[in-house]
Structure 1
Amino acid sequence: MRRILLLMLLLGCVSGPLTARTLKARYRVTTSDQRRDCPVVIRDIPDWAVSATVTSDGETIPVQLDRPLGELAFVADISGSREFRVTYSSRPARHGYPSRVHAQMWLKQPDKTLQAADTVSSTRDDMYHKLHHHGPAFESEYAAYRIYFDKKQTIDTYGKKHPRLELAETMWYPTAEQMAAGSGYDNLRVFGSVGVGTLKGWDASKRKMIHITDFARREARILARGPVRTVVEMRVEGWRYCGREIAMTSRYILYAGHGEVQVENRIEGDFRGLLFTTGVMKMAEHRVERGEDWVAAWGRDFPENDTLKWERESVGLAVALPAAQIVSRQDDRTSCLFQLTPDAQGRIDYAMGMCWRRSEWFDGLSDEECLRRLEASVAEARKPVAVERVR
């Protein structure tokens, strides 16, 4: 009898962990119009879930469960509304969806090799030369961006000729052979400008941007790297700005099927009444179009200082902002800018993007049509997506 009881206990110990915990839920996602590869984020996921499966209309949809963020993300075509079935599981995922996005950050080693890193930090402004391509970089099939880990924290752009992932091979700096085979490359010289969509400080009296110079600690993190989206953060703590001490976290989210980036800035500390600024840089041979809460520019300039090796590139930049938080529209000599204040929660959220004349995606379109498509995609990224759990 004791042997039977012991055997039963042993079987219980073995079979218990093999039994997965699951939960099935239905969600209705509603948009104001027809959207292709519409980003969907679900935040009421169970604490114990480590994987999930999403289906709709008999289709299995690639999904990404970002446990540290407490979010489930996927993209899907939605016209008005669409229902999705989600099955959460306590077991790791068995499916391996092909990645449509990529993120990377590389620390330079003394022996000149590179070490992959998800998090790097410093209490000094000394990371620019310690990192390959000077900071984190991330891409979708249609565009790539990097963030300079220095006092400017400017966002730079990399154009794609063909819709595909490239940074794992080109490492931002393609060889002549890779370029001859159709790879894209850095297509913009940002100088001391805002680049596209960088949130900076603002000195209203001097009408100039304020860089992050007096701080306690800075950090760059890759929070998610696919297969559906990348999430990259830049954080500064103890930033002594305009007589205050604040912290600022800037989160950049790039989804599969998209070239535009959703930007979420969170200000902590005594932020009431503080002004910040963002926009797009003034390029050579540029023209600017501006609305109440957006700005777009089309320009033509050399992407590098070497004007013999490189040709002039035609690039479009655009930013769409929260109208209620805009205080003024004052430009400086380098950039077309808006000045904004944080909302009651310390947030300044917006969308930004880039288009490139050499991109297959814009082939056959005029410069005007390229800019219109970019403006539309950035504006669309600002439109709300309603996610409702169906009981």
Structure 2
Amino acid sequence: MAQKTFDVNVINKSKTDRKAVPVVLDLKKYGMDVKSALVQSDGTEIPSQLDDLNGDGIFDELCFITDISKKSELKFSVRLMPDGKPREYKPQVYAEMLMSNKKVKSSNKQNLYISSLTVDNGTNPYWMLHHHGPAFENEMVAYRIYFDHRQTVDIYGKYKKGLELKETQFYPDKAQKAAGFGDDILWVGETLGLGTLRGWNGNAPQMLKDVDHRTLRLVARGPLRTIVEVIDKGWNTMNPGKDKIDMTMRYTLYAGRRDCFVDVKFNKPVPEYQFATGIINVKNSVEMSDNKGLRGCWGTDWPVSEKDSAGHKRETVGLGICIPAANVISELPANKDNYPYVIGNATDELHYNITFGSANETFGFHSADAWFEHLKAWKKELETPIEIK
């Protein structure tokens, strides 16, 4: 089969410049088994990424990233080829998942890398996995997802831009800390952490304790985006009187962006189901909400439990979640643990975004006011996406 070449026009109709805009093309529409791709801007090659999302050996999506000025249009040339291998580019993101090797004493020299793990109901691999689940980053931020009944989203903050997880494995040693590496900056416990999705029993969020089979998988590892997938087969959501459902969640982090895209797919429409999400109520935090799906906080607390606090300092963080207003059933008042929501949808999907910042950043935000203004601009950007033709 011959290669295919075509133009992609990216249009920004908004009144603001956009940074690190992801452009994602569904390859099914081109009717070919793509083996390699070339993306050019004004005749110059730019990095791109091919991803096999379902593990069948066929690439499903092509993505690239661009900045674009306000009220402007950019043209890119895309060439899809039926032979060869994906082109290689400097990594701008990183993802890892490891089993804990008890023979290796160092917390940042673990070596049992895996790409997927499935466990049966009642099996908790939390302590068997290094950093307790998959971790992923770009040069600005890093996230991890706990592989247990909580499935909590946790965060790692940085002082300076750069990829760090391959070296620190989420646990920097004294020398790395002295050299300016980042660290875990949030204690999440059993809270909602940063935008964790839970069940809802009509009164309170419910953890994912009753799941027939739980899988966490690294779908994509760069160079431009990471995708981490969480699959809960046969999940009892604790919605009274409702059958178990299957849920697949994908967390996508692009280079150059601090926010993470959360895409949820169920095995059937869920109009009668309700779910909980939100953000942790960081100790002594101040809150902002537009009462239409955007909520954030800014506060300071220890990033670990009291017994593990030696060698750590109190961390100041800003958290944010943006949920389409149509999916918000109720914005609940803050309690000692969370700023929670009850959410739902009549279809078989949910989509929302999460983000955070650390006051340690030399490139970020250092006050509640600045963080909350960023969140407002972030929501406006999410609600007015670029056009791709």
Q: TM-score, normalised by structure 2?
A: 0.89
Q: Pick closer, same or farther for the CA change 1:132–1:267 going to 2, 3 Å.
A: same
Equivalent residues of 1:108, 1:132 under 8 A apart: yes
Distance 1:51 1:313 in 2: 44
User: Residue 40 in 1 paired to residue 42 in 2?
Assistant: no
For the 8 Å contact 1:197–1:278, the answer to whether it is kept is yes
Equivalence for 2:4:
23
Alpha-carbon distance change, 179 to 45 in structure 1, aligned in 2, over 3 angstroms: farther
Q: What is aligned with 2:359?
A: 357
Per the TM alignment, residue 342 of structure 1 is displaced from its structure 2 partner at its CA by 2.3
In 2: Cα distance, 1:382 partner to 1:253 partner: 18
Which residue number in structure 1 is paired with residue 36 of structure 2?
Answer: 51
Give, in whole Å, the separation in 2 of the partners of 1:56 and 1:174. 39
- The answer on whether the counterparts of 2:139 and 2:256 sit within 8 Å (CA) in structure 1 is yes
DSSP-derived class of the 2:218 partner: strand
CA change 1:224–1:382 in 2 (3 A) is farther
CA apart distance, 1:214 = 1.1
- Aligned equivalents of 1:45, 1:36: Cα separation in 2: 28
**Which residue is 2:259 aligned to?**
260
Of residues 58, 65, 88 in structure 2, which corresponds to 1:75?
Answer: 65
**Which residue, out of 233, 244, 249, partners 1:237?**
233
* Deviates most, 167-176 or 79-88: 79-88
Indicate if the aligned counterparts of 2:133 and 2:145 stay in contact, CA closer than 8 A.
Answer: yes
Post-superposition CA distance 1:224-263 (Å, at most 9, x none): 0000100001110011222311011110000000111011
Letter in 2 for 1:340: I
Cα separation, 2, equivalents of 1:230 and 1:134:
18
Deviation at 1:338?
Answer: 1.6
Q: Secondary structure at the match of 2:78?
A: strand
Give the distance between the partners of 1:281 and 1:382, measured in 2 at CA. 24
CA offset at residue 319 of structure 1?
Answer: 0.5
Write the mapping of 1:334-373 to structure 2, written as runs, cut at 5 A: 334-344=337-347, 346-362=348-364, 365-373=366-374
- Which of 121, 127, 139 matches 2:118? 121
Cα offset, 1:269, TM superposition? 3.7
Does residue 376 of structure 2 align to residue 385 of structure 1? no
Match of 2:89 among 94, 97, 100: 97
Contact kept? 2:35, 2:86, Cα under 8 Å: no
> What is the alpha-carbon distance in structure 2 between the residues aligned to residue 384 and residue 62 of structure 1?
21
Q: CA deviation at 1:382?
A: 4.9
Please say if residues 22 and 88 of structure 1, whose CA atoms lie closer than 8 Å, have aligned partners that are also in contact.
yes
1:59 shift after superposition: 2.9
Q: Is 1:62 paired with 2:62?
A: no
Q: Which moved more, 1:163-172 or 1:368-377?
A: 368-377
Secondary structure, in 3 states, of the residue corresponding to 2:99? strand
Partner of 2:323: 321
Post-superposition CA distance 1:168-206 (Å, at most 9, x none)? 0000000010010010000000111111111111122x3
SS in 1 for 2:167: helix
- CA offset digits 1:4-27 (Å, max 9, x no partner): xxxxxxxxxxxxxxxx84110111
Alignment-derived partner of residue 198 in structure 1: 196
Is 1:301 aligned with 2:301? yes
Q: In structure 2, what is the Cα distance between the partners aligned to 1:83 and 1:284?
A: 47
SS of 2:321's equivalent in the other structure is: strand
The number of aligned residues is 365
**Are 2:50 and 2:86, in contact at CA under 8 Å, matched by a contact in 1?**
no
Pick closer, same or farther for the CA change 1:372–1:45 going to 2, 3 Å. Answer: farther
Q: Matched residues in 2 for 1:36 and 1:262: separation?
A: 16
Kindly indicate whether residue 81 of structure 2 is the aligned counterpart of residue 85 of structure 1: no
The structure that has the greater radius of gyration is 1
Q: 2:166 aligns with which of 168, 177, 202?
A: 168
How far, CA to CA, are the matches of 1:383 and 1:130 in structure 2?
A: 43
Q: Does 331-340 or 350-359 show the bigger shift? A: 331-340
| Structure 2: segments with no counterpart, 5+ residues | 55-59, 105-109
Deviating more after overlay: 279-288 vs 301-310: 301-310
CA gap 1:106/1:302 in 2 versus in 1, 3 angstroms: same
Q: Which amino acid aligns with 1:53?
A: L
Q: Tell me how large the CA RMSD over aligned residues is.
A: 1.9
Using the TM superposition, name which of 246-255 and 195-204 deviates more. 195-204
Aligned partners of 1:352 and 1:378 also within 8 Å: no
Percent identical among aligned pairs is 33
Note closer, same or farther for the CA distance 1:262–1:281 as it changes in structure 2 (3 Å cut): same
